[in-house]
Structures are given as C-alpha cells and as structure tokens.
A and B are shown apart, each in its own frame.
Chain A
C-alpha cells in the first residue's frame, strides 16, 4: 500500500521524447488508468515506475521515497505483462512461488500464500500444470496470481487484457476490479482501450505524444473534456466534431455551419461571449443527436442517412451533412433508412466548444 508520485518525469529515446514533463500524484489504494493511443508514452511511464527503463530526468517516489536509482526488485512492486511472461519451464505453482523463493520466504508460508492467491483467482486445480497447458484466460489469472502472492505496495498492469477475446476481457475486467476492492492496493493500469479505462479506473490519465492531457474521474472526462483530443478519445462511438462560426444576431448567439444554423442556449452564449474569434470547433456526442419528427428552424439539422448499425439496445446512424460524416444514436424503433433524409435535433446544452487554435475546451 503506497502513494506513488511522479515529478517532472521525462524519458527521451535519442531524439524521440517519449514522456514529457509528466506530473502525477497517485493516492494510496487508488486504481489509476493510463490511457492513450499507441506511442503516447503510457507504457514507458509504467516501465519507469517499474524500474525497467531509466529516467532521463525527474523523480519517482513510492511511499515518499525516491526510487529513481532503485533496481526493480527493491521497489516492492509487481507487474503483469501484456504477454503474461509466464516462465514456460515451470509449473503454475513454481511460477507463482518464484518471487517468494528468491526472497527466501519459508516454504510453509510460500505454500500458504500461493494457495490463497490460487483460491482468489480460481486456479487451485491448475497449480501442477505448465503454462503451455493453459488457456489464455487461465494464463492471465496465473500472471495476476504471480503478482498478488508477493503482496507488493503497487501493482503495475501493462495492457493485461488485450490478448484475451472480447467476452473474456469483459469478465476479467470485472474480476480485476473486484480484486482491487479486495486487496486495497495501489494499481497503475495501462491500456489503449478507453472502455477498459472508463469501466475500471477510479481516476483516468489521458496521454498523447508523451504529454498528459487530462486527469480525472471517468465521468468527469466524459462530460467535461479538457480538449478536443480527450473529447474524441473518451466515448464510443467517438464525439462528432465540426467547425462552425459564432454569429451574434438578434435574439442571441448562433452557431452557423454547412447550411444549418443552431441557437446556442443563453447560459452557454454568455460564457462564449469572451471568446475573441468567430470560428470554433464544436463537438456533439452521438447520444445528443436525437431524431426530430420535423424540421424546426434554428434547432434541427437535415442529414442524409448512409448506414445503419443496429446493436439491439440502440441503433447508430452514420449520416452525412454536406461533406461531414456524423454518428447519431437512435432508438431501436427508428424508421431511418439508408439514403433517406432525416432531421436531428442536437441537444445544445451538451455541445462542447473548442478553440480552433489550440483545441482547448472553451467552456
């Protein structure tokens, strides 16, 4: 159990700056998820915490102690790798006991701890098998088991679920979360899958190009993204973005773009007043684009339906406005058909505005 602090962390690989000025404070017992597209520096950050990668500059503290120069084995951490990295020549039991044996724990305690971990993870009957004889999900459990027997201060997970099939992944997601509840240990979890990040994390850190974009609780990131990147990255299907112009006219502020004009609600308009430029990027989530029965001036937009994606509980409509493609969520009862026109009524209270220059959120 420990607090992990990263301070002005930098990692350069030659000319490439993989992680830049990364600051993060992870409170004890928190489940933190680092998420971002591949190459954003999340795994590098995790590997620096593990001690597998040298730090170019900055500090890492575990429990208020600088660990920059400490070798991995002295940091009291455990890591689960994407490919599990089970030792193929050892049985499951030996795999799990390896770390304890090296630390010269008494035999009886090793046995006790492995048994305990195996029970938590439901792999009790597999202990005598070799990794080759296990399925993907079982290997995953063994890898987690090998981490938990040591009772480390911090768990590091490096995309542990990405080699599992979709169904198993959902199941393991829940189990890992339960495990965190039970163990009450700090977890740093790296993934590129925003659904994993949203469902598992107490706190999510979104990264891009080695830079921290936003840190916050899942729903905070969803409803109040700090910039266009976060807004587009969190949420599936992704938020729709368009460029438009702000027009001050009689009766308030309007958003003008590609042949339609929408009236911005008064409270948002008041906040947007201070924005000096006319052009903005605005984003609407698919669920904020409900169908409208008929055209309403300044409230609806006319679109052409291209593709229907029925999921059962909802239907996603791929539609086109001019040259821009949008995705809208509709009820399963929708009458929309490909190649027919449709009216959508954006929920303007939920529209996000971004600066066209630096893509920061404006509200």
Chain B
C-alpha cells in the first residue's frame, strides 16, 4: 500500500476499470477463440476476473489504507513477521471491506450480461439474465409468466447473499474501523 509507485498504479487500475466492456469484448473474443473455450463456462471464469480484479483492488485499497500503519509497526515490534502481520492484524481489520468486495463481485458476475451473451450460446449453459432474455422472448412474443418467474428466481441468490452479510456489508460501507 505504501510501496513506491503505489499511487500511479492505483490510478491506472482505476482507468483500466473505466474502459467499457463493449470495447473490450472484441479482443477478449479473439483470445477465447484461440483458447478454444468458446461456448463453455470456462470462458466466463476466465473473463470475469478481468473486470472484477481491478474493481476489488480499487475497493480494497481504501480499506487497507484506513488501517493505521502504527498498528502494523506495533505488531512488528511485538515480534510478528510481515506475513503474520497481514493475516493476524490487517486481514481481520479489513474483513468488512473484503466481504463487501466479495458480495459486489458476486453480484456483478451474477448480473453480467454482455460477455455472457457473447461467449455462451448453448441454452443449458446460459447465465440467468441472458437465458431469460434470449430463451423467453421469441421475436415480439413475451412469455410473461415464465419471464417473471425466471426474474424472481434469478434474484433469489443475490437477495440471500445480501441478507446474510448485510450486517458486515453495512459496516463495510460506513467505514471499516473508527478506532
């Protein structure tokens, strides 16, 4: 967090994140075809981190920065190695942030539309948002019943995750640690 050049790297991650996926999916498609994983869930496994990692890095930088460096220094004087300081002091303190990042990442990939639409064409492999639109809308005929059922079912996992972590999540949103 305080290494040389951490500022520029943070900013470049941020700008990288700003590049719209509509531009990125063309080169990404080339790569996916070359790897011969088109129309397989592995394509999404590979592609989602390209926007999730910068996003989570950006989100977590703020949390890690909010941990006073004296706390790490104190632990080092107390006899902890850098790795131990990270696991026993920094990670527990950044836990709300890490959970927030995890939930965000989950929601983002769950709801992602464009890449899923581009790289998956087999019906059984389609993700919920893509499947709903492509399978249940035939031309201008809307199958309202199944569409609504599908939308409801698709939102259930997200709702569950949110309600499960809501306490940490809210704590994470309002600042990791005050003291």
A73 and B78 contact, CB distance less than 8 A: yes
| Binary A-proximity of B81-94 (CB < 8 A = 1, otherwise 0) | 10010000100110
A88 and B93 contact, CB distance less than 8 A: yes
Residue of B nearest to A84 (CB): B70
Tell yes or no: B71 within 8 A of A by CB.
yes
A73 and B76 contact, CB distance less than 8 A: yes
**Chain B residues in 8 Å Cβ range of A81:** 70, 73-74
| Binary A-proximity of B42-84 (CB < 8 A = 1, otherwise 0) | 0000000000000000000000000010110111111111001
Tell yes or no: A87 within 8 A of B by CB.
yes
**Chain A residues in 8 Å Cβ range of B81:** 73
Known A-B contacts A83-B68, A85-B70, A85-B71; the reply to A73 vs B93 at CB < 8 A is: no
A residues 129-183 near B (Cβ < 8 Å) are: 131-132, 146, 150
Known A-B contacts A102-B79, A132-B179; the reply to A72 vs B89 at CB < 8 A is: no
**Chain B residues in 8 Å Cβ range of A71:** 76
Known A-B contacts A85-B71, A132-B179; the reply to A77 vs B93 at CB < 8 A is: no
Tell yes or no: B177 within 8 A of A by CB.
yes
Residue of B nearest to A134 (CB): B179
B75 and A98 contact, CB distance less than 8 A: yes
B75–chain A nearest beta-carbon distance, Å: 7
Bound CA span A81–B93, Å: 18
B59–chain A nearest beta-carbon distance, Å: 20
B3–chain A nearest beta-carbon distance, Å: 14
B177 and A88 contact, CB distance less than 8 A: yes
Residue of A nearest to B81 (CB): A73
B79 and A99 contact, CB distance less than 8 A: yes
**Chain A residues in 8 Å Cβ range of B71:** 85, 87
A2–chain B nearest beta-carbon distance, Å: 15
Give how many A-B residue pairs fall within 8 Å (CB-CB): 57
A residues 43-94 near B (Cβ < 8 Å) are: 50-52, 71-73, 77-79, 81-83, 85-89
A294–chain B nearest beta-carbon distance, Å: 59
B73 and A72 contact, CB distance less than 8 A: yes
B70 and A98 contact, CB distance less than 8 A: no
**Chain B residues in 8 Å Cβ range of A82:** 70
**Chain B residues in 8 Å Cβ range of A88:** 93, 177, 179
A102 and B80 contact, CB distance less than 8 A: yes
B89 and A87 contact, CB distance less than 8 A: yes
Bound CA span A81–B70, Å: 7
A193–chain B nearest beta-carbon distance, Å: 20
Residue of B nearest to A132 (CB): B179
> What are some 9 contacts across the A-B interface (CB < 8 A)?
A72-B73, A73-B78, A78-B77, A81-B74, A82-B70, A85-B68, A87-B71, A87-B89, A99-B79
Chain A residues in the interface with B (C-beta under 8 A): 50-52, 71-73, 77-79, 81-83, 85-89, 98-99, 102-103, 131-132, 146, 150
The 10 closest A-B pairs by CB, nearest first: A99-B78, A85-B70, A102-B79, A73-B79, A85-B74, A81-B70, A72-B77, A89-B92, A85-B71, A72-B76
Known: A81-B73, A87-B93, A88-B93. 20 other contacts (CB 8 A): A51-B77, A52-B73, A52-B77, A72-B73, A72-B76, A72-B77, A73-B79, A77-B77, A79-B73, A83-B68, A85-B68, A85-B74, A86-B179, A88-B177, A89-B93, A99-B78, A99-B79, A102-B84, A132-B179, A150-B78
